[in-house]
């Protein structure tokens, strides 16, 4: 692969902007950061001619893209097509996401991800199983007859999958703490969502090792002054990292601005797309579990008006965070990369531009439009 030197752009290293630095890449990793005044031997000089070089975006919730829906195409080829579609929007690592479906589709989806990783599919980190162990009262676009309670056998099956990065969204009002503990102790990242849980039930889940919250405010018990619910607990518990769909349709911007100010750390709000096949594709209609989903006015809905995923990409989410939520540019970039990397326990290799980290980069214009993308030092 040789040595490549990236120069000519302001560097965002994952935490802060750094001017006057070049980035040396060797064998797919960042080898060094060097002052621009220093002469560095390299096989290739990449002059970015302005803009910002930032860590590639990490999307922990990607249902589809490029005309492909993971539930409908649970194959390694489907995973690659989805990853390819999102790379155009700065995503260099993602979790293909399967919403509640049949056991057969779940098995096919997990096998597909293992095959994709074995084939070095660029950007496929693992899998996000969003359901089926969720609350029927907060099912959202999930099909009710696919929702079920978690058995000990289900836990055994998940533990035996041997996928390095596995995120499981479950409802703590239907999955007991002892099962959450078994999953989290085995390294599975438990995210709470699609749930009617009380504040106390969320507290028990956090004590059992739950680490995240899936699409804050959506499909969960709301915050009110006497019953904080899951939304209140998500903001109160510092151990929880909360995904948000920043498209202006899933959550009112004012609610997200309040959440950003209220969130107790070290957990933070981070960006997810919750993208469907329409992202990177011209089609306006697709099928989800046998039901028609239609794109109109930036929204994706079932026939009854229920939101069914989003038409959002990560670059647009970054711009929305800056423009509509008043987030500083560096925080929006952290929300798109470092924070999801931290949730997924990948922040030792992803989410920063530092020696020893993977050379996953996105080159952004001054208005945060994607100019180029590199995965492990290879331009896509």
pLDDT tens sequence across 247-260: 999 999 999 999 99
Q: Which residues of 17-36 are buried (b: 16+ CB within 10 A; e: fewer)?
A: eeeebbbbbbeebbbbbbee
> How far separated are the first and last CA of the chain, in Å rounded?
14
Number of domains, the chain: 2
- Shared domain for 360 and 320, answered yes or no, is no
**Catalytic-role residue among 173, 274, 311, 313:** 274
**Same domain, residue pair 44 and 183:** no
Burial tier of 39 (Cβ tally within 10 Å: 0-12, 13-18, 19+): exposed
In-domain check, residue 204: yes
Band of pLDDT at residue 1, cut at 50, 70 and 90 = low
Mean pLDDT of 42-47: 94
Q: How far apart are CA 339 and CA 33, in angstroms?
A: 22
Per the structure, the complete domain to which residue 159 belongs is given by 57-343
- Provide the CA 367 distance to its chain's centre, in angstroms: 22
3-state SS, residue 172: coil
* Model confidence band, residue 39 (pLDDT cutoffs 50, 70, 90): confident
Residues 24 and 171 in one domain: no
Q: What angle do CA 287, 154, 77 make, to 5 degrees?
A: 40
Same domain, 176 and 247: yes
- Domain with residue 139: its CATH number is 3.20.20.140
pTM for the predicted model, two decimal places: 0.97
At residue 111, does pLDDT exceed 80? Answer: yes
| 128, 131, 137, 138 alpha-carbon torsion, rounded to 10° | 10
Residues 43 and 118 in one domain: no
Q: What is the pLDDT of residues 226-243, one digit of tens each?
A: 999 999 999 999 999 999
Is the confidence at residue 92, as pLDDT, over 70? yes
154 noted as active-site residue: no
236, 295: one domain: yes
332/318 same-domain check:
yes
Claim to verify: residue 136 and residue 67 sit in the same structural domain: yes
Instruction: Round the average pLDDT of the chain to a whole number and report it.
Output: 97
With respect to residue 348, please indicate whether it lies within any of the assigned structural domains.
Answer: no
Residues 114 and 248 in one domain: yes
Please state, in angstroms and rounded to a whole number, the distance separating the CA atoms of residues 350 and 58: 9
- Distance, in Å, from the CA atom of 199 to the CA atom of 316, rounded to the nearest integer, reads 32
pLDDT at 40: 86
Average confidence (pLDDT) over 172-190: 98
Confidence grade of residue 358 (pLDDT, cut at 50, 70, 90):
very high
User: Do 15 and 79 fall within a single domain?
Assistant: no
CB 241 within 8 A of CB 212: yes
Contact 170, 212 (CB under 8 A): no
Provide the pLDDT confidence category of residue 38 given band limits of 50, 70 and 90: confident
Q: pLDDT category, 290, cuts 50, 70, 90? A: very high
Question: Is 207 found in the same domain as 283?
Answer: yes
In this prediction, residues 125-133 reach a mean pLDDT of 98
The number of residues in the chain equals 380
pLDDT tens-digit series, residues 130-160: 999 999 999 999 999 999 999 999 999 999 9
């Amino acid at each position: 692969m040789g040595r490549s030197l990236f120069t000519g752009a302001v560097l965002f290293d994952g935490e802060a902007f750094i001017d006057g630095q070049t980035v040396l890449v060797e064998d797919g990793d960042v080898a060094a950061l060097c002052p621009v005044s220093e002469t560095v031997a390299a096989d290739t000089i990449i002059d970015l001619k302005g803009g910002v070089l930032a860590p590639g975006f990490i999307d922990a919730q990607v249902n589809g893209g490029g005309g492909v829906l993971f539930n409908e195409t649970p194959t390694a080829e489907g995973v690659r097509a989805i990853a390819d579609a999102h790379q155009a929007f700065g995503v260099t690592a993602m979790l293909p996401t399967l919403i509640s479906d049949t056991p057969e589709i779940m098995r096919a989806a997990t096998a597909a991800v293992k095959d994709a990783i074995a084939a070095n599919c660029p950007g496929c980190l693992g899998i996000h199983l969003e359901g089926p162990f969720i609350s029927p009262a907060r099912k959202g676009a999930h099909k009710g007859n696919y929702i079920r309670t978690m058995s000990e056998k289900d836990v055994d099956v998940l533990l035996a999958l041997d996928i390095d990065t596995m995120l499981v969204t479950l409802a703590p009002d239907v999955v007991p703490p002892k099962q959450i503990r078994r999953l989290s102790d085995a390294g599975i990242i438990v995210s709470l969502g699609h749930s009617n849980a009380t504040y106390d039930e969320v507290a028990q889940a956090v004590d059992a090792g739950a680490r995240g919250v899936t699409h804050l405010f959506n499909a969960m018990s709301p915050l009110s002054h006497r019953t904080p619910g899951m939304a209140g607990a998500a903001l109160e518990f510092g151990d929880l990292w909360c995904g948000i769909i920043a498209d202006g349709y899933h959550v009112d911007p004012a609610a997200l601005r309040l959440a950003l100010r209220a969130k107790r750390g070290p957990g933070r709000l981070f960006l997810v797309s919750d993208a469907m096949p329409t992202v990177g594709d011209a089609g306006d209609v697709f099928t989800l579990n046998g039901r028609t989903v239609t794109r109109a006015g930036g929204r994706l809905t079932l026939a009854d008006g229920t939101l069914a995923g989003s038409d959002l990409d990560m670059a647009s989410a970054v711009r929305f965070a800056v423009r509509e939520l008043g987030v500083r540019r560096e925080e929006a970039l952290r929300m798109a990369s470092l924070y999801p990397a931290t949730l997924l326990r990948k922040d030792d290799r992803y989410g920063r531009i530092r020696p020893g980290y993977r050379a996953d980069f996105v080159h952004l214009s001054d208005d945060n439009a994607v100019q180029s993308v590199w995965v492990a030092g290879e331009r896509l």
